[in-house]
Each structure stands twice: as structure tokens, then as C-alpha cells.
Amino acid sequence: MTDKTSNQMWGGRFAAGPDAIMEAINASIGFDKRMAAQDIAGSRAHAAMLAATGVISDNDAEAIREGLLTVLSEIDSGTFQFSTALEDIHMNVEARLKEVIGEPAGRLHTGRSRNDQVATDFKLWVRDQFDAAEAGLIALINALLSQAEAGAAWVMPGFTHLQTAQPVTWGHHMMAYVEMFGRDLSRVRDARARMNEAPLGAAALAGTSFPIDRHMTAEALGFDRPAANSLDAVSDRDFALEFLSTASICAVHLSRFAEELVIWSSAQFRFVTLSDRFSTGSSIMPQKKNPDAAELIRAKVGRIYGANTALMMVMKGLPLAYSKDMQEDKEQVFDAADNWMLALAAMEGMVKDMTANRESLAAAAGSGFSTATDLADWLVRVLGLPFRDAHHITGSLVAMAESKDCDLPDLTLADMQSVHGDITDDVFGVLGVDNSVNSRMSYGGTAPKQVRAQVERWKATLS
């Protein structure tokens, strides 16, 4: 067993230091150093409050403030020596503060615990990430709106079961993703508003006997209010779970769009051309231009949802209040946040740069009997047939076109009349894809006019 001196921060009752393996499993400094700025901001707010409430002297508070700024600059400049023996960012910062300012450093931890400290630091960190996600989502939505505006009237096939269904517009398809990412945006905002309560001052679990002012520290750190129950405040990780579940749903959306881009950029589809900036080549096949960014975005949901599952399982069954299990929260959230932001930025870049191939889209829009529903609707509207009969007649005409290896508009009037005698020349008007999309004027429908109205609505919403 290692025979080190006991921990300088909590080792009063210990005769010996921890085993090397104990130190390895216990330490979080390897990852929680990412919360250094939040830790120091929290300590500054706490020290200022302790002075304002007369718990510590103004001189000590000033020394602590100056010392924390020195520590922060050491961390920012990379000269700070992180120590595994000091476990985590909280004790690393405090121990260094002691070296820098001496005795007053020991007064900083009055009326708080690492339990409320870590909850506060982590909330501040996650809150910044919610803000980053909000910005990333807005940027992506704006990129989609530009695509939608440019291509509000460009026709393309709409699919169900990935089989040609009815013609839609490029703008309409882009706007479908605007709706999805718009819901992600509203989830981000909801969760951020809900999480914005300060744990600081909950202390270890029960609150403190010192006359602290939790409203003051909450306000100084940009929280809306202090968390109302000290047991809950130190044991709550809902904000991290909501972050991960919001990220997971968004990652699912990103993966769906990424999948479409992979399909659309293939030689078989040619619906879009991705820019060189967001494609890669093959080291063996010179002709290849691969949609790697889209594939990687498609894959990110794996690790992001994995993090969500992992933290759900960490939290499951934990009794009140703090348990060390909860130290396992950070790496999951850090990794998910990094990859979520990266995926959002990559998707925004791809969408901004990509070119819709209007000719390929239009050619595909007209194939696959995509206006069969328009034909059936015409039989209902003009000839007054029940929809079920119209459906059947149209089906026969599709079969006829298939056997002649042509599309519906290529059938002659005589062909049409051989199936139903009352069909007139007028029917050919609805078989064109432009007519088809223009006719779908119902609210939320694919008509260019409707698409433009939705683009305007979103622009107004975001501005």
C-alpha cells in the first residue's frame, strides 16, 4: 500500500494516503478541469457574498478575489499544475489559491460544500452549452431557410416508404427540417429556463448555519433564483439529463437529414451536389467524392444517445442526496456536447454550401407516376366520381402506362377514354408536376406560395 501523507484538503482523520488505485478511481481532475472557469466564477460570487453578509472580512474577500483571478490566468495560460492527488477542479483551485494568498484561502469554503459547488459549476457549464446549441440551431435553421427561399418552387419527388409518392417542392422539404430543428430549439429554450436555479449555498445537503445570502450568489451567477430545497439542489442532475435527451432528439433529426443527403448525393439520385469543402475523396478510387460529413453526423446520434442512456443509468435508484456516482455525469455530457455542437456546425456548413440539382429533381419529380393522385382528384372534382372509383380507374391507367413503358402524361386521350369514357383533354392539365404542387394550397401544403409564407413566418419568429 502506498504510504503517502493524507489528503491536504480532507485528510484530518486519515493516517495514510489513498492507494494508487483508489486515487485513480476517485479523481475527476482529468476531465472536470473543463469547468475551471465556472468553478472560479462560483467561488468569486460565494466569496463576495460571504463578505457582504459579514461571514468573512472584506480584506479576506479581496485577497480571495485577487488570488482566484491569478489562478484563472494560470489555467488560461496553461501554466497551472493539475494534481490527481487533489482529486478534482474544486480542490485543485482551492489548494493553489492557498499557495498564492495563504491563510484567507481557507475561509472560502465557509458555508458551502463540494456538493453544491460541483452542481453549480456543472450547471453553469451546461447552461453555456444550451446557449451554444441555441446559436447552432438558429444558424442551421437560417441555412435551411435560404435553401427553402431559393427553391420554394423547385419540384422534386416526395416519398413515402422511400417510394415516389407525390411531387413536392424543394423548399417544402427544407422547411420540414426547419420545423424539426425549430422544435429542438424550443426544447433547448425550455430546458435552459427550467434548469436556471442555483444550487450554491445548499452546502453538503442540509443548508448551512452561516447567514449566507443565496439570492445574491444566484443573481451574481445569472441564475433566476436559488434552488428551493437543499437536498434536491445537490442531488439533481435533471439539467444534464434534459441536455442529453434534447441533444439526442436533435441528433436523431440530424441523422435523418444526413441520411437524405447521403442518398441524394449518390450518382443514382444526383439530387444535390455537396461542396468540395464538405466532401472527401477516396485513396483508391479517383472518381469518388464521399459525403463523409453527412455519414459522421448520421453516426453522432450513437454516442449522444449513448451518453443519455449512460447518465440515466447512473442516476437510476440513487438515494438522496449526493453520491459519488454522480461524478460520472460529466464525461458523458462533455462528449455529447462537443459532438452535438460539431454536428450542428457541420450540418450548417453542408446546407449552406450544397447545390440542389434542379434538373435531376424535376426529372425525378415527374417519374414514378407521381401525379396519379392528381389524376384521381380530377376524376372526383370534374367528373363527380366517388374517390374510391377514381382511385381504381387511376390504378388501371397507371398499369396501362407501365405496360407501355411511359409516364401518365404520355398516354393519349384515347388511352384514357378506353378506361373511362367521360375523361376529357382537360385532364392533362393536372398531370404536370408544376400544376400538381401549385394546387396543394392547403395550409402547410407544398405549394410554393405556402412554402414562401412559412419561410416568412420563420424569419419573423427568429428575428
Closest distance of CB 330 from ligand ARG, Å:
6
93 binds ligand ARG (CB under 6 A): no
Q: 28 or 357: whose CB is closer to ligand ARG?
A: 28
Closest distance of CB 201 from ligand ARG, Å:
16
187 binds ligand ARG (CB under 6 A): no
Which region, judged by CB under 6 A, interacts with ligand ARG, from 67-75, 111-119, 127-135, 183-191? Answer: 111-119
Provide the mask over 392-431, with x wherever binding to ligand ARG is found by CB under 6 A and - wherever it is not. Answer: ----------------------------------------
AA letter at 181: F
β-pair type (197-198, 225-226): parallel
Report yes or no: 421 and 382 within 8 Å, Cβ to Cβ: no
Closest distance of CB 59 from ligand ARG, Å:
29
Assign residue 423 a region: left if phi > 0, alpha if psi is -120 to 50, beta otherwise?
A: beta
Q: Please give the DSSP secondary-structure letter assigned to residue 285.
A: -
Farthest-apart Cα atoms in the chain, separation: 102
Positive or negative, the CA dihedral 160, 162, 163, 167 is positive
Q: 115 or 246: whose CB is closer to ligand ARG?
A: 115
Reading the block at residue 352, the C-alpha cell is 449552406
Instruction: Please report how many Cα atoms fall inside a 13 Å half-sphere around the Cα of residue 349, on the Cβ side.
Output: 15
Provide the mask over 304-323, with x wherever binding to ligand ARG is found by CB under 6 A and - wherever it is not. Answer: ------------------x-
114 binds ligand ARG (CB under 6 A): yes
Closest distance of CB 337 from ligand ARG, Å:
16
230 binds ligand ARG (CB under 6 A): no
- Residues 6+ positions from 7 with CB-CB distance below 8 Å: 14, 17, 18, 85, 86, 87
Q: Which helix (H) or strand (E) holds 160?
A: strand 155-160
DSSP string, 295-326: HHHHHHHHHHHHHHHHHHHHHTTPPSS--GGG
Spell out a b/e string for 195-224, using b for 16 or more CB atoms within 10 Å of the CB, else e.
bbbbbbbbbebebbeeebebebbbbbbebe
Closest distance of CB 288 from ligand ARG, Å:
46
Of residues 13-72, which lie at the interface with ligand ARG (CB under 6 A)? Answer: 28, 32
- Residues 6+ positions from 184 with CB-CB distance below 8 Å: 137, 246, 249, 250, 253
Of residues 340-379, which lie at the interface with ligand ARG (CB under 6 A)? Answer: none
Known catalytic residue at 172: no
Size of the site for ligand ARG (CB under 6 A): 10
Known catalytic residue at 73: no
What is the chain's length?
463
CA dist 220 and 461 (Å) reads: 31
Q: 51 or 244: whose CB is closer to ligand ARG?
A: 244
Of 57, 73, 186, 282, which one is the catalytic site residue? 282
CA dist 459 and 440 (Å) reads: 23
Q: 204 or 380: whose CB is closer to ligand ARG?
A: 204
Closest distance of CB 115 from ligand ARG, Å:
5
326 binds ligand ARG (CB under 6 A): yes
Report yes or no: 43 and 93 within 8 Å, Cβ to Cβ: yes
Q: Please give the DSSP secondary-structure letter assigned to residue 83.
A: -
3-class SS of residue 447: coil
115 binds ligand ARG (CB under 6 A): yes
3-class SS of residue 155: strand
One residue of 245, 279, 308, 327 binding ligand ARG per CB under 6 A: 327
Closest distance of CB 343 from ligand ARG, Å:
26
> What's the burial of 346, exposed, middle or buried (CB within 10 Å: 0-12/13-18/19+)?
buried
237 binds ligand ARG (CB under 6 A): no
9 binds ligand ARG (CB under 6 A): no
Q: 181 or 322: whose CB is closer to ligand ARG?
A: 322
Closest distance of CB 93 from ligand ARG, Å:
12
Which region, judged by CB under 6 A, interacts with ligand ARG, from 112-120, 170-178, 334-342, 379-387? Answer: 112-120
Of 77, 161, 403, 442, which one is the catalytic site residue? 161
One residue of 61, 118, 356, 416 binding ligand ARG per CB under 6 A: 118
- The catalytic site residues sit at 161, 282
Q: Which residues bind ligand ARG (CB under 6 A)?
A: 28, 32, 88, 114-115, 118, 322, 324, 326-327
